[in-house]
Amino acid sequence: MFRPKLPAMPQPTGTATPPAVVVEPTTIAPGTPAPPPAPAAPAPASTQPTVQLTPGTALALVGGGTAVVLVVGAVLVSMLLAVAVTAASVAVCAVVLRSLLTSQHRR
C-alpha cells in the first residue's frame, strides 16, 4: 500500500547501432604561401534609394518616441504610487495593531 508503483519501462523493439563516424586525416604543407588575393573591383553603385528623412517623417519619429517615453513614465509612476499606498496602509495597520495590543496589556 505504501510502496510506490513504478511504471514498466518499454523495451526497445529493434537493434540500435551507434552511427559510424569516419575520421579523415588532413595534411598540412608547411611553408606554402597563400595565393595573393585578386584585386577587388569597385563595387557597383546601389540601385536602391537611400532612406531620406523628410520633415514629416522626422516629426512622426519624434512624436512616436515622445509618446513611448510618456507611456513608460506613466506606468512607472503608477507602480511607484501603488507601492507607496500599500506601504502607508501597512504602516497604519501596524500602528492600530500595536495600540490594540498595548491597551490589552494595561488592563
| Whole-angstrom distance, CA of residue 13 vs CA of residue 24 | 34
* pLDDT tens-digit series, residues 24-83: 877 777 776 666 777 666 666 667 677 778 889 999 999 999 999 999 999 999 999 999
Q: Which of 8-12, 73-77, 100-104 has the highest mean pLDDT?
A: 73-77
The predicted pLDDT at position 81 comes to: 98
Grid coordinates of 96: 492600530
* pLDDT tens-digit series, residues 14-26: 776 777 777 787 7
| Whole-angstrom distance, CA of residue 48 vs CA of residue 43 | 14
The predicted pLDDT at position 107 comes to: 60
More confident: 103 or 43: 103
The dihedral over CA atoms of 42, 44, 49, 53, expressed in degrees to the nearest 10, equals 0
pTM: 0.44
DSSP state of 56: H
